[in-house]
Every structure is written in C-alpha cells, then in structure tokens.
Structure 1
Amino acid sequence: MSLPALIAVPPSLNGLVNSQREAFREASREASNASDGPAVAGWSAARWAAFDRVLALSDFVAEQVRRSPELLLGLVGSGDLDRPMAPGELRAQVATAVAQAANEEELGRALRQQRNRQQVRIIWRDLTRQADLAQTCRDLSELADACIDEAYRWLYPRHCEQYGVPTGQRSGTAQPMVVLGMGKLGAGELNLSSDIDLIFAYPEGGETVGAKRALDNQAFFIRLGQRLIKALDPVTVDGFVFRVDMRLRPYGSAGALVLSFNALEQYYQDQGRDWERYAMIKARVVAGAAEQGEQLLQMLRPFVYRRYLDFSAIEALRTMKQLIQQEVRRKGMAGNIKLGSGGIREVEFIAQAYQLIHGGRDLSLQQRPLLSVLATLEGQGYLPAAVVAELREGYQFLRYTEHAIQAIADRQTQMLPEGARDQARVAVMLGYETWEAFHEQLMHWRERIAWHFHQVIADPGDEAGGRCEEVAGGGWLPLWEDSPGEEAACRQLQQAGFADPQRAFRQLAELRGSGVLRAMQRIGRERLDAFIPRLLAQAAEHPDPNRVLDRVLPLVEAVARRSAYLVLLSENPGALRQLLALCAASPWIAEQIARFPLLLDELLNEGRLLNPPQAPELKAELRERLARIPEDDLEQQMEALRHFKLAHSLRVAASEISGTLPLMKVSDYLTWLAEAILEQVLALAWRQTTARHGTPLRADGSLCAPAFVIVGYGKVGGVELGHGSDLDLVFIHEGDPQAETDGAKPIDGAQFFTRLGQRIIHLLTAQTNSGQLYDVDMRLRPSGAAGLLVSSLGAFERYQLHDAWTWEHQALVRARVLVGDSEVASGFERVRAQVLGQPRDQAALREQVSQMRAKMRANLGTRATEAGRGAHAFEAQAAFDLKQDAGGIVDIEFMVQYAALAWSGAHPALLRYTDNIRILEGLEQAGLLPGGDAEQLREAYKAYRAAAHRQALQKQPSKVPGDQFAAERRTVMRIWAGLGLG
C-alpha cells in the first residue's frame, strides 16, 4: 500500500489551530527572549502549514508544544523533523541524555523527555507523510529498545555496587540480565501508543560477590527488574516512557519477575501452552546481554517450532480466535480494528498459523516481522500472490488507521472514534475527504481479511462467514490468564455480580501462583485453563459468586494434579452446576468433596444424586460392591466401605439441600446407611477373627453364628443420625466365655469377642485415603470406659438391673439392636423391656432426672439459662444452644425418657420405638400427655433438629441467635415444669 494521500485539513478543525499557533508564537518569543525571535522568524509557509496540520490532528502534539515549545524548536533547529534517523542515531540521542543523569529520578526524567521528543518527531513525520508505516514502526521500536537498554545499562553497575556482582555458581563469571521483547516490540512493529511486553531472564544461578552480604542471583535480578520497570512505566509530570506489561512471563503476574535460562526452558518444556508458543514467535532480545539472549532463544526454539508438521496449531489458534470474538461481542467492540472481525489480529493469526505448522521444517518462516512472513508465504508457495497482496494491503491500511487513532491523544486504543471531530481527523490522516468514504474502504478491507482468515483458520464444518461456536466460559479466559490487568479484571468481576471483586481476583492470582500449579504438566495446565473460565461463568450465575469461589477453589487446588477431574467437570456442565450449587449451600459438602474428590463422580447423574435408595437397596448395593473384592484384600474392602459411605452421605446432603428429602427422611437414610455399613463391618470382622482363631461356642456347645449384636444408643439408636454424627455403640454376645474356639489358634470365648469388638472398632475408625467411617463412642457400655469392651447378655442384664444409674436407663430408652444375631437381639429386647418397665418411685425419678439435667445445663448450656431458672431467662441470650440450653433438644429428650421410665411398666407400647417422635405419639395415644402438648413438642423437636442439620451443613456449632425459637422454648419449658421436673 502506498502512503495515504496528503489532503487538506477540513475547515471544521481550523478553530483548534489558530489559538494554538498564537500560543506557540508567544511561548517561542519567551523562549528566545526576542520579539518574534529568530526561532520561528525564519519558518516557511510550508513549515507553518505542517504545524497547523499536525496540531489540528493531534491533541498530544499540541499539548507537548504548549507545555514545552523549546521541544519543537529544538527538533526544527536540529533538522530532525525533516529527515529519517541514521542507523544508531536515535539510540545515541537517548544514550547522551541518560548519561547525564545523576540519580534514578533524573534517569526517569531524561527517559521521559526523550520519549516525548521522539514521539512528537515520529507523529509529525507520520502526519505530514514524510515517513511511511515501516519507518514509523521502526523508529518507535528503536526508541523502545534504546530506552530499555540504556536504562538497564545505567542501573546495572549501580545495582552491583549496592548488592555485589551476580556470579554464576557453575561458570564463576558475572551474570548479566537479558530482556526479551514480545509482541509488536519483538517484531519491530511497535505502534504509536503501544505498551511493551517484556520477559526478564539471567543465564545462571548463583549469588552476588563483593558486597557485605551475598544475595541470591534471582533476588538480585528481581530487584533490578523492579528498578528498570520503575524507570519506564510510572506516569510522572513528564508523562511515561512505555507502559510495561510483564504478564507474558511464566505463570503471569503470579510468577517470579525474573527466571534463569534453565528455569525458563524447564517451564516451557513442561508447562508451556499453545498461546505461549504463539507469543514466543516474536520474542527478540531488546536489552541486556545480546549474545546470551540469543543462546536463550535457541534453547526455547524447540518449544516454538516443532520438527514435524504441527497441524494442532490450527486448532489452538482457532480456539484463541473464538475467545477473542466472544470478548469482542461481550464488550461491544465490533469497532475494534485490532480484535474485531477482519482486524489486525486475524492477519497475524494467518501468518503465525503457517509459522507454527511449517516453521519447524521450513527455517525461512522462523522470522518476526509480519510483512516479511507474508512475503515468504508467497515466495514459498504457501499462499497465492493475490491472497498475500490483499492481506498486505489490508493490514497496512489497518495499521495506518491504528496510528491515526492513537496519534490523536497518545492513547492505547484500537477502537474507532465515535465523535464527529475525531472521525474527521482519522479520515484526513488516511487521505479521505469524509468519514463515510474512509469507513467504506475500511469495511472493504476488513471483509476481505475476514474471508481469508476463515479459509485458513475457521473450522471446516463452519459455513463461510458463520459465527464460530462459543468456547464455554471464554469471556473469562483473559481474566484467568491475567491479560486485562487487575483494574479491568475487578471491573469484570463486579459487573458479573461479585460483591468483593478484589478478593476474587486475589484468590485467582494465588491459585495461579500456587506451588501445585507450578508442578503441573502441560496437559494438566491446559485442562485447568479450560476449566477455570467455565467455573467463573457458572459462579457468576449464583446470588453470591464470592461464596462459590471461596468454597470451590480449595477443591480445584486439591484436584489440580489429578486433572481428569477437571475434564469431568469441564465436559459435564450439569455436574459443574450441581457442584457449585452444593458448595454454595454447604461448606461441609465443599470440604468433603475437596478432601475426597472421588465424590465428583456422584454429580454426573442428578437423578441418582437426589434420590438415595431405601434401606434394603442400600444393603444390597453394598453387599454387591464388596462381593467384587477378594476376601483377603482388606485394604480394598475398607476403601470400598468408605467410598460407599462418602457417596451416600453426599447424596443425602444434596437431597436435603435441594428439598427432595425432608428432615425425618434425612435421619432415616443416614441411619440406614450406618446399619448397612455395620452389617458388612461385622461380617468382615467375624470372618477375619474366625479365620485366625476359629468359631466360638455357646454354653450348649453349639457354634456361635455369630451370637453377637451391635446395639446403637443415642442418635443412631433413635434413628436420628445427622451429618457427621458419631456412633454410640455397645457390643453384646451370648457365647460361652470359658469355652475355647475351634481354630488352629484357639482362645477362650471372652477373648474372642473382645478381639471381635476391637476389630469392628478398627474397621470403623481407621484412617485410610478416604478417611474413616465413623467416630465410635463406647462409653455407654456397662461400667463405661472401665468396663469390658464386650459384655455377655447375662452380664448386661445384671448390670442394668442392679448397678446402672438412672441416666443409663434413660439412655437405654433410645437403645436398639442395629445388626447381628436375631436370637441375641430378641434377648436384648427382653432385657430392655424388663429394665425400663420395672416399677419406680416417680418422685425420686423426677428428682434424679432433674438433677442430671441441671448438671448438664451448668456444664454445657449457656450461662443465661443455667439450670433453666425463669421462663424468660433466655430472652437476654446472645445465642441459643439448640441442644443444651433450657427449652431445647435435650429437655425434650429428657421428658420423653422420663415418661418412658415412669409409665412403660403400665404402658409397654411406649417401648416399641426408640425415636422421640414416635414415643411422643405413644404418650399422646395413651393419654399420658395432652394431645396439644405432644404435638407442640414434636414440632419443636423437628424444628430444632432441622436447624441443627442446617448448622452442621454450614459447619457451624448448633447455636442460633437468641431471639429465635422463643415460642418453642417457652412451650418446652412450660411442659417441663408441668411434668414436675422443676
């Protein structure tokens, strides 16, 4: 493409110029201390015409001239405005300015003043058509190279004076820094207001020499890199030099600022992703040690260019473009001439697709400047000459347009202006009389580029010009890859509904920089990169997306190395949706899944997840699972039991959260689950113990089969298990304690059943990779912790009738056989009925129950209701302990237990059930408790337990605000007093 035509500035812009010309004249007079001094006196009409043109079109140049007229006067006086720079001349000017700096503040000022001077010169020559696109880009890139390298060369020796000379541990030589320029800087194609993408490196590890305190080489270069960025990036009263972007380095902003050559090579070899190959094509040494820098690029070349024909690059570039298109649509950036359809990026993608595919074999493609690559593609026959001609002309038109947009205000933007004045400026700079004429030509080139891009990059299955299928969560990928920067990322998070976007951004940054991610292989990192945007997209659909991230990101970190789980969630949006819903609802579930990621499999089938099986189906499923495992593989059997428990506990919790399972059913299922597990644990323990010692005998000499039961007390006995409940158990047998077993290593019956009990406890409580099955509490056995682990039925009966305390009889109300021998179970039921139904002095019973409850309140309850004094004492409480405070769960349980002990002798039907709800129904049916009172106690009990379940799922103690359940508590305390329990 030839230079755009130099047409006159329209009259609508002249008003901008007149005032600026007069202001400049005044300023120049002051600068030269003479009336219409010699600085401008000799200006020709052509010079003033150029002045008017440039200042009408560029607010940036107008501002620089207004602030510093001597800048323009110097450029005119030196002749720099009227000629191209000779090779090395621009660098020499920067070097001269930098050499005069005495400190870092002066260094920064010198660099900024040089940048402003050169920027005015470059824009002036571009707008007056004294320089073409190639020369403008070359000057800008040389300016950046000079500023970076001269700043480095000024800083490095002073840094060494302070910290010592960084020295290689292996070579023993001084270590320099290498600065790689990426993107347009690397290709020598910098635009008028581009930032610079850099990567810092140093050749070899070691430490500094010559300072009082040695410093690790990496720490030395990190501090040096920070000083170099400070010299270039911050905006001061003199402006800035270049905006520095370091996010293309390994691990992005979470990674170390500087890495050794070996660390860089290892990273790209193990974890480098497709987009990093794409970026590394243009990498060039722009500052520091050039020779060592070229060695580094040679080390990284195999990562960029494969030795084989790499057609996978097409798919990678296609995905990248789909993500860009989604972002353009999301942000309404159709007017973006870089990222929009038919924009600059599409021409770059076409060229780089061929480079990545063929560059490993065809060395002629291993180059950086885009126009040179296009020429090679034509010369080597990869693309027809007509196609290359259209791509070249369209690309140049877009780059001229990009420079025109940025020349106006020195802003880093590729968006077409919307205001009439700036539209007129862009049209003039491109050689068009009107915006409409310019825009028509622009759209022509964008359409041609888009068409060619589709031929090379688009999915073969797509219709020409059709919209690409969206990449799931693609709008979030730039944020995850840290490309938009913190401010833009937080803005996107806030717009998506994150109440605390800074916290979310920080969490994602911490995940990016975590040790787990650093250790991931490339395929795992690619899977994570595919998953996180999907996670963010779905999290944004929740009422509290911050909470979702709080609870799900620990899981992501836990499973990152087992990236198959990430694939599972990426490829099953329903499973991911279910995961987020469950984790948002319950930190307990989130923690369970994070600890045991195998639970993610349960999310694949929503119908199964939210419909846990009935008790017989539970038992059958577990039997079938264990039947597939060899009997001698105890480790696998224990894992299978734990996986079964984890999976079904999750299903019950999910069903409760979703509302498909009411409270009473939740406890039923959790209790059935415990019974199914105990049945198989008893069978395993029996099989293992008898295999070692043989089978014990009954008193009549017959074999026990097994003459043993597991009795459940408390919540499991009362069919009221909650999430994470432990098991209160008692073991009872009816074997002959003296008779020896019939095995190869015989022991007496008492020892056998003790070892059987120990085995059961081990199987239940042992920690494996999948955790433990249950915590087990055996303190309710006869004589508590001082008693035998396993009792005979006769010993149990004698203890209960003659030695047990009243509180132990209260506990027996909720005791039942969970699994084991049916004959022993019948014997236990007989003993229980006999013990609970015996005559009692009701006054003494009331006193004993009241005293026990008072002790519990004093030790465990909230002080405001200690001993339950006063029906309104609780009103001053800050919190209400659902279980222990007056009017709470334990009060209801104690009333039920008191009633069973007091009246079951006359009403044995009260002993039929062990759960509080059905005992209360029995009391109502027997007329022992007024119907209204019984119903109110049942409703209060269910309400308390439902709240306790919610607290458990939230990983909170069973306490709620003190003003909750006031009516229920008054009712419970009234009925308590009415029973005479005081």
Structure 2
Amino acid sequence: MPKPATQRPKLPSVGRLGLVEPPARADLTRLGWTTDAHVELLWSLSRAPDADAALRAMVRLADAAGAEWDELNTAVMKDRSLRGRLFAVLGSSLALGDHLVAHPQSWHLLQGNLVLPSADELHRLFTDCVTEAPKDAVLPALRTLYRDRLLVLAALDVAPTVENEPVLPFATVGSHLADLADAALGAALQVAVATVCKEGTPAPRLAVIAMGKCGARELNYVSDVDIIFVAGSTAQDNLAITTRVAGEMMRLASETFFEVDAALRPEGKHGQLVRTLESHVAYYERWAKTWEFQALLKARPAVGDAELGKQYMAALMPMVWTACEREDFVPDVQAMRRRVEQLVPADVRAREIKLGTGGLRDVEFAVQLLQLVHGRNDSSLHVSSTVEALAALSAGGYVGRDDAANMTASYEFLRLLEHRLQLQRLKRTHMLPAPDDDEALRWLARAAHVRPDGQHDALGVLREEMRRQSLRVSRLHAKLFYQPLLESLGGSVDITSGLTAEAAERQLAALGYQSPASALTHLSAMANQSGRRGRVQAVLLPTLLDWLSDTPDPDGGLLAYRRVSEALAEQRWYLATLRDESAVAKRLMHVLGTSAFVPELLMRAPEVIQSYADGPSGPKLLDTDPEVISRALVAAAGRQADPIKAIAAARTLRRRELARIASADLLGMLEVRDVCKALTAVWVAVLQAALEAVIRANTPAGDRAPATIAVIGMGRLGGGELGYGSDADVMFVCEPTDGFDDSAAVKWSVSVAEQVRALLGTPSADPPLEVDINLRPEGRSGPLVRTLSSYAAYYEQWAQPWEIQALLRAHRVAGDPDLGEQFLHLIDKTRYPSGGVSTEAVQEIRRIKARVDAERLPRGADPNTHTKLGRGGLADVEWTVQLLQLRFAHRIPALHNTSTLESLDAIGAAELIAEGDVDLLRQAWLTATRARNALVLVRGKPTDQLPGPGRQLNAVAVAAGWPTDDGSEFLDNYLRVTRRAKAVVRKVFGD
C-alpha cells in the first residue's frame, strides 16, 4: 500500500502567534505570509520579544526594500539563522528597526556565519570609511557604519530569543562595544585633525584615555563614553591647537555616535579640556580627591598617541594603589556611597538597576573599594573590568569563591536587563518598567532569554529572578567586605579565604574602623564562640558590620555590640531576633554606632531591643504612652515597703523608659518636643515614687504624717522641657496636718526631702538622678522646706528679681496636688503682679543677664558653640522669653506659661515682637536643645560644648537628626541659627 502523504503543519491563528494588534492579519497578508509554507517562519516570528513590533518593522522594511524585497523574503524563508536574528532584532529594538528601514541593504549583514570583527578590523573599517567617503558625506557614512556594527552585535546577542543560536557571553558584548567605541573615537579624531590642522599645521600629539565602562571594556549599548585628553609637552606641541582638536573630536563623536563626556578630567567640567602629562601628574599629586583615583581604576589608553597613553598610565597608576593611605580616604569613600544612594528618589529606587539598592553600583562600588584596599600589595588586582576584578579578588582570597561566583552571576544578569532596556530605543536608561506594567515586563523577559520554568510563565520567572538577584546583591555586598574577615579568624568558621591578618586590618581600616586590630579581636571573640551562638554570629556579622560601617563610630559600635551580646548571652531570643528581623538588627547597629549613652541602658534593659521591631501600627518603640509608664513606675515602687527597694524598682522602669526614648530619638522617630515631654514625665514619676516611698517609711503604721508635702518643679522640669543631661530643679513646700505645729511639720518634711535627695542621688550604673534645690528662697543658705505662709512672707518682703524670674517656670510636679496648686496661686501675685513687674526689676534682670554673659561661661568654652550659655543658645532664648513675660504677663494671660516654646507662641500671637523674630528664637531653642541632647547621647554624659570638626561632631550631627553625618554642615547650620537668634536677643534686651 502506498504511504500516506505527509501533511503540512496548519497555519496558526494570529492569536496563537502572540500577535495582538488589530492590523496584524492585514500585515501578514501584505507580506504574503499566509500559506502553509510559512508556518515555520510564523512560529519564529511568534518567538520574537515583541512579535507585533517585529511584524510592523517587516512591513516597513518590505516597502523600503523595493525590488530587493523578493530576495529578502526568500532568504528569510530558507535561512533559519537569518530570520532568527532579524526577528529578534526587530522585536527587541525599535531603533535598529528604524535603521534597517532607512538602510534596507543592511539586512545582508545578518546572513551567513557571523563573526564579530577584532578591534584592529574595526579600526580599519572606520579608517577606510573616513578615507573613502566623500568629504561632505563622512559623518553620515560613519553614523551608518556604527549603527550597522551595532546591528550585527545585537543580532548575535538577541538571536537565542527566537532560534537556538549560541548565547553571546556578556563579557564579549561589553568588550566588543568598547572596541567599537574606540574605533569610532579614532575616526572622530582622524576627522578632527583634518578639520583643525590645515596644510602646514602638524598634527598634535594627543592621547585619548578611555574611562568608566569604556575604559574597563564593559560598555553598554548606550552609554556616555568617558574620556580624558593628554597632550604632548615638547616644543612642537601647541596646546591651543591640541585643545581645538580635542573639542572638535568630542563634537563630531557626540553628533555621530554617542555622547562623549570629559567631566572626569582634573577639576571636572571647570578644568582645562586638555592637559600635558606633567600637568596631570601635578594635579593628582596635590589636588585629586579619592573618587578621582577610584575613577582611574578603569583608565585605559584608547586612541591617539599610544606612547603618550602608556606614559600617562605609568605615571598615574602607582598613585591609584596608594590612595587608600590618604587621610581622607575613609570619609571620602563613605560620602561617595551616600551620594550615590541619595541620587535615586525613594519611590523608584526598587526599579533602578544601576543606582538602586542591590543594583549595579553596589557591586561596582564594593569591588573597586576592595581593589583600592588590597591592590597596593597585590598586583593581580590591577584589572579594570568588574567581572575580572571579582575573579582576581576570589583568586587572591579577598572574597569567597562562592560569593564571587554569585556576585558575578547577579551582576551579569542585571547588566543583561540594562542592555535590553537600552537596546529597545537606543536610549540611555537604567529604569525597569513599573511593577504593574505586565506587557513591558513580559517583553523584557523574552528579550533577556527568560524561559518559563513549569511553575511560572516568563513574566513570573522574571519577577522572581529580579527579586532574588537584588536581594542577593544586597546581601553579598556586605559579605564581600566582611565574610573573608571572619574566615581569616579561623576557629569555628570555615576557612575558605586566604585573607591575612594584615589584609584584614587594611580592609577594616578602609571601611571606617580606626582600630582595626581591636575590631578583629572583637570579631574573633564573637564568631569563634562554641555552639549555636558562634554559628549565628558568624552568619549575622557580615551584615551587621556593613551597617556599622555606615555609623559615625564603627569601633565604638562594634565594642558595644560585643558587650551587649555578652550581657545577653543567655537570652535565646536576642540573636534569634537579630537573625530573623533585619529591621531590629539594622536599627540596633545604628544606635550602637552612634551613642555611648544607650548601650549601657540596653545591657540592663534588654527587652527594649525587642521593641525595635515594627508592629501593626508602626515601630513598637512608639507604642508606649509616657503617662501609662509613669503610673506603672509609681505603682511598682508603691509595692515595696523599703524605700531603697522602692527606688530600685523605680530606677528599673526609668532605665527601660530612658532606653526606649533615646532609641526612638536616635532612630528619628521622635521630635525634640516629644523627647523633652517624655523625659520630664519620667522624672516626675520618679520624684513621685521616691516621695511616696520615703513618706511611708517615715510614718509609723496607724499614725498620720506630720505634714503634707508638694514638690514644685523649677527650670526645665517645671517647663516640661527636660533633656537627657538635665538635673531636676525643685522646691519643697509643706503644710502641717491637724495636731502638728509648723516647727514639727517643717522638721519632718526636711528629713523626708533630704532622704529623697540622698536616695535618688545614690551612685549607680544608671544615668544620675540629681535633685537640685538651689532655686529655693535665699538659695543655698535658705531652709530646704518652707510652709506656704513662710513662702508668702518671703516673696512679699524679700524676693529678688532673679527669684521672681525663676518662679516663671515653677509648676507642681509631685506630692500633694492640692498643696501644689495652693503654692502656685500664692506665687502668681509675685511672678504675675497686677501692675506688672517694676521697671527697676526689669533693669536688674538686664544687668544680671549682662553679667551672666560675661562671667558664667566655663573657662575654655567656645561662646559660639556652647549650647546652654553660648551665643543664641538656650539661656539666651529663655532669658529673652522670661524678660517679655515679666514685662507683659500681667496683661496677657497666655504668658502665664512655664514652657519656653508655648510662651514663644503666645509672644508671637500677641505681636510683642515680630513673628519672624519669634521664629528665629524658636528655631534656636530647638536647635540648641537637639544638639545638647545629642551630646549626651553620643558621649554618654552631660555636656554643653559642641566638639570641633571630626568624628565626634559627625556623631552629634547624626544623633541630632541631621540628614547626613557631615558635622561641618551641622555646625554651620547651628552657628547660623544661633547667630540670628542672638541678634533678636540683643534687640529685646536693648530696647
């Protein structure tokens, strides 16, 4: 029997081909691709990244090709490689589709066994083009040649998307693009010399140094090509002519091929376009910044005078490998890293392939820094390509082998996405499509050779892969720096790295650690613990060290972390929390690397670390109501019969609350007003708890106390504006209970007050609890406690202007509330007299202020930066407010207020001074208070003097909430704000 005839495959429907645009069926008919003979061709078309775009381009190409269309159509039908390359290019790049339509004969370049030409062959192609093209057609011819070469490269690069062509290695694409750029630059230089150097004018000696990705031979399809010009310096070399040639070359290349950027030259865009070699050397020896040496890592002679290019490299590269010894190397590197992060708006950071978190710049920055650190001692690291540098770092033991391999894979994947995005329109971009743009992402997945995996389609696989790679880069970024350090310590950590102790210290020093040997000791102690703790620490430390390196004091932070870890060694939740909740670990590192105040508290109140986590409504640090804490503190102390134990219980809750407030403050979660209110609430609760405990201990069971006692807050305590380093200024007032006379009541009350002060002032590991009573009548010479009638008699007859001024901030804070209110009513007629304070009293206040300004500043203090008594500092603002209260409170009830800030609001509302002046005083008070609090947080003890420029000032800036750790900027702002406030102070005190 005869065999049945083989059936041709049926023509697929438009929908099955992935063609979704309405004209698709008509376009297929127009091309004649509607018979069963076209089935294979149509399935190839369907595999294009954008089949509709490829089909539209083919229709346009058919119209443009004219009589040549039949040849092209036949070739596409027969040649599977050709149609794979053609459909892949047209479905990947709208710009190259436009190029083919404009130059339809260029399709022939995609035929046959394609091989990329060598660098020398490219140079010959471009040189011949300049020589053979008519003079007025050189630039169009060069532009066409350049796009033709891009077309061939792109065809080989994207063809595996459509047909099973070999995948072109990423490194090959980048190096060929750099070779192509070199050839294009050479042609532009050739034309520029011919344009500038007319007959009789010799061509200048000029070397063009490629920088950036071009210099590293890892160029993108669309990049600015960074270059530096070096001129000859012999008598025959004319710098003016050389500069004209360089400028003309840049213009021609930018118009014809790609943007050429010379901004990496000495002094950037403001510097000379062309310098002699001697001038370059002099600049780098004296003026160059760290980033300029980092940029030179990728320098390479590209075109021009080859010998001059070699001399340039020989002169400058030794300087690159000693750059890490520069005094400002570490702060410069950290500043560069922060600047890069700040370049990208937060709302698109996740879409930025280059500058976003876990992006290309993270890889490049890490690799370059490690090269700079170790390159002086290891010449194998003297390579410019990122991928080659990762391989060299791995071979040298500076990076783990697996980490280097994973980082390389992630880097190449991200670069592949970058290439595809740029190829689409031949525009420079690093931005991924929006997360909800499924069509754009699906195109990117197909263009990048992403295949379905059985669980997800290509789009789903791409989404997962992008998340995985970004996360991997972020994690590896830390591991690249720190894992080899831990491996070099030996012990329980697997030794897979050859990093020596000397290299480890070099690396830590470059990452901001001023005592790298001590840091290694701490690392060794933590990573080499036995059992679970050592294993968890070894996993945690690379990331924790990376976060610590971004803090103002990595050394102090690492020591604090070791101490906290040792103090909590038996708390299983501690390391588990750091391991499982990265937000907690990152916040803890920021706090430890900024503050000497908080670590001591955390060791004794470790539960606060758990509140670093995020809760349903935000950070748990903010879940606590200070009033609730105050009641709990008083209640806890009230359960203890012994006053010593009662105050110990109060200290425990105070310690926890101080740690919570300070942590939230350092993490930027609290405004300065909230901090002051919370600290005041803690102090008030402690005073109440201590007073109640001592009264109970001094009142026999069943008996009545001889007196009721009220504690009156003065100064910042009375104003509700305490800082971390503030003492509690108070006065004690008592009233005898029935059956007791004033003498017995006062004697008993004095005993209670003395015990309260002594018990609270007992030395301990916690921040001190000093109760200051020097603002009482007669100061240190006056009785510790008075009755209401005694206070009334004193203030009526003997009150001095400074005492009246002090009463402006008096407010009841603890003890019997009724007695406290009676005291406030009593003193109102002294501080707010119906006719106002006398002119003599106001003059006396002004005189005292002048004397304070002249005499009170501590010896050696800088009057410009003393936050309390300095120019425009806290005292200046508070005295100004109080002077206005003394003068006008009798007729403006809103000035009956103990808060400086609230009184300033009342002064502005009453228009006692200009609103602009009120705002200057307010900003100065907030700025000085923030700085004063930050000083305590950073140093761990009260101080009022801002330090000079350096690491400690940088830490104060961070603790004060300044947006960067640039202490100089913070100090400039402080000086500017306080200087303006001082002008207002002088105006008020002088009128």
TM interval, shorter chain, is: 0.3 to 0.5
Point out the structure with max Rg over C-alpha: 1
Superposition TM-score, scaled by structure 2 size? 0.44
**TM-score normalised by length of structure 1:** 0.45
